Chains A and B, each alone.
Chain A
Amino acid sequence: MEWEAVIGLEIHAQLATKSKIFSGASTAFGAEPNTQACAVDLALPGTLPVFNTEALRMAVMFGLAIDAEIGYTSVFDRKNYFYPDLPKGYQTSQLFHPIVGIGHVDIELEDGTTKRVGVTRAHLEEDAGKSLHEEFPSMTGIDLNRAGTPLLEIVSEPDMRSAEEAVAYVKKIHSIVTNLGICDGNMAEGSFRCDCNVSVRYKGEEEFGNRTETKNINSFRFIEKAIKGEIERQIDLLEDGGTITQETRLYDANKDETRSMRSKEEANDYRYFPCPDLLPIVIDDEYVSKLRDTLPELPDARKARFIEQFKLSDYDAMVLSAYRDLGSYFETVADKAGDAKLAANWVMGELSRHLNQNDTEIANSPVTAEMLGGLLQRISDNTITGKIAKQVFEALWAGEGSSADEVIEAKGLKQVTDTGAIEAMVDEVIAANQPQVDQYVNAEPEKRGKMIGFFMGKVMQASQGKANPGQVQGMLKQKLDALAG
Chain B
Amino acid sequence: MALDRSDVEKIAHLARLQIADQDVQEYAENLTSILDLVDQMQAVDTSDVTPMAHPLDAVQRLRLDEVTEGNQRDHLQTVAPAVEAGLFQVPKVIE
Chain A positions near chain B (C-beta within 8 angstroms): 17-19, 23-26, 31-40, 42, 44, 50-56, 82, 84, 131-133, 135-136, 138-144, 250, 261-264, 269, 271, 274, 276, 278-282
CB of B93 within 8 A of CB of A263, answer yes
- Rounded to whole Å, the gap between the CB of A83 and the closest CB of chain B is 8
Q: Knowing A38-B72, A132-B87, say if A279 contacts B94 (CB, 8 Å).
A: no
On whether A18 and B87 interact (CB within 8 A), knowing A261-B95, A276-B54, the answer reads: no
Once bound together, how far apart are the Cα atoms of A140 and B82, in whole Å? 11
Establish whether residues A133 and B60, one from each chain, have CB atoms under 8 Å apart when the complex forms: no
Q: Report the minimal beta-carbon distance from B52 to chain A, rounded to whole angstroms.
A: 11
Q: Are B90 and A276 in contact (CB under 8 A)?
A: no
A122 to B53, CA, bound (A): 23
Assess the B60–A279 pair: CB atoms within 8 A: yes
Interface residues of B in 45-67 (CB under 8 A from A): 53-54, 58-67
Inter-chain contact B89/A139, CB cutoff 8 Å: yes
* Structural contact, A136 and B86, CB atoms closer than 8 A: no
Contact A133 B92 (CB under 8 A): yes
Q: Residue on A with the closest CB to B16? A: A82
- Does A53 contact B63, Cβ atoms closer than 8 Å? yes
A221 CB to nearest B CB, Å: 23
Across the interface, A139 reaches (CB within 8 A) one of B62, B71, B76, B92, namely B92
Tell whether B14 is near chain A: CB-to-CB under 8 Å. yes
Residues of B within 8 A of A263 (CB): 93-95
Q: Given A36-B71, A37-B73, A38-B72, A136 and B63 touching (CB < 8 A)? A: no
- The distance from the CB of A333 to the nearest CB of chain B, in whole angstroms, is 34
User: Of A18, A50, A139, which is within 8 A of B61 by CB?
Assistant: A50
Minimum CB–CB distance from B1 to chain A (whole Å) comes to 17
Q: Which residue from A34, A141, A143 sits with its C-beta under 8 Å from B77?
A: A34
Is there an interface contact between B92 and A138, defined as CB atoms closer than 8 Å? yes
| Complex A-B: 30 CB contacts under 8 Å | A19-B63, A19-B68, A32-B71, A33-B87, A34-B76, A34-B77, A34-B86, A38-B72, A38-B76, A39-B69, A50-B61, A51-B61, A51-B62, A52-B62, A52-B63, A52-B65, A53-B63, A53-B64, A136-B89, A138-B91, A139-B92, A140-B92, A142-B89, A143-B86, A143-B87, A274-B53, A276-B54, A280-B59, A281-B59, A282-B59
B38 within 8 A of A: no
Q: Mask for B69-89, Cβ within 8 A of A = 1, else 0?
A: 101110011000010111111
Contacts of B71 in A (CB 8 A): 31-32, 35-36
Of all chain A residues, the one with the shortest Cβ separation from B80 is A42
For A31, the closest partner residue in chain B by CB is: B71
Within the assembled complex, what's the spacing in Å between the Cα atoms of A133 and B86? 14
Tell me if A19 and B60 are in contact (CB < 8 A): no
Q: Contact: A53 with B93, CB < 8 Å?
A: no
3 smallest CB-CB distances across A and B, nearest first, come from A141-B87, A24-B68, A38-B69
Residues of B within 8 A of A141 (CB): 84-85, 87-89
Task: Say whether B91 contacts A33, CB under 8 Å.
Answer: no
User: Given A139-B84, A141-B85, A142-B90, does the pair A39, B76 have CB atoms closer than 8 Å?
Assistant: yes
B77, A54: Cβ atoms closer than 8 Å:
no
Q: A33-B86, A136-B84, A141-B84 are in contact. Are A280 and B92 (CB under 8 A)?
A: no
Residues of A within 8 A of B60 (CB): 51, 278-282
Of A26, A141, A278, most buried by chain B (CB within 10 Å of CB) is A141
Contact (Cβ within 8 A) B76 A44:
yes
Q: A133-B95, A136-B84, A282-B59 are in contact. Are A17 and B89 (CB under 8 A)?
A: no
List of B residues within 8 angstroms of A136 by Cβ: 84, 89, 92
CB distance from B44 to the nearest CB of A (A): 20
Which residues on the A side are within 8 Å of B14 (C-beta)?
A: 269, 271
Q: How far is the CA of A269 from the CA of B90 in the complex (A)?
A: 23
Given the complex of chains A and B, what is the CA–CA distance between A19 and B14 in angstroms?
32
Residues in A whose Cβ lies below 8 Å from that of B68: 19, 24
CA A52 to CA B67, docked complex, whole Å? 11
Contact B63 A34 (CB under 8 A): no
Contacts of A37 in B (CB 8 A): 73, 76
Please name the residue on chain A nearest to B59 by beta carbon. Answer: A282
What CA separation (Å) do A42 and B88 show in the bound complex? 11
Interface centre among A18, A31, A139 (most CB of B within 10 A): A139
Measured between beta carbons, the chain B residues less than 8 angstroms from A36 are 71
Q: Are B85 and A279 in contact (CB under 8 A)?
A: no
Contact, CB under 8 Å: B86 / A26: no
Most buried by A among B53, B58, B85, B95: B95
Given A50-B63, A262-B95, A84 and B69 touching (CB < 8 A)?
no
**With A and B bound together, what is the CA distance between A38 and B73 in angstroms?**
8
Q: Which residue of A lies closest to B53 (CB)?
A: A274
Taking a contact as CB atoms under 8 Å apart, the answer to whether A23 and B76 are in contact is: no
Known: A39-B69, A44-B76; 11 extra A-B contacts, CB below 8 A, are: A17-B65, A19-B63, A24-B69, A26-B67, A26-B69, A34-B88, A36-B71, A38-B76, A52-B65, A140-B91, A269-B14
On whether A24 and B86 interact (CB within 8 A), knowing A276-B53, A278-B60, the answer reads: no
C-alpha spacing A70/B95, complex, angstroms: 37
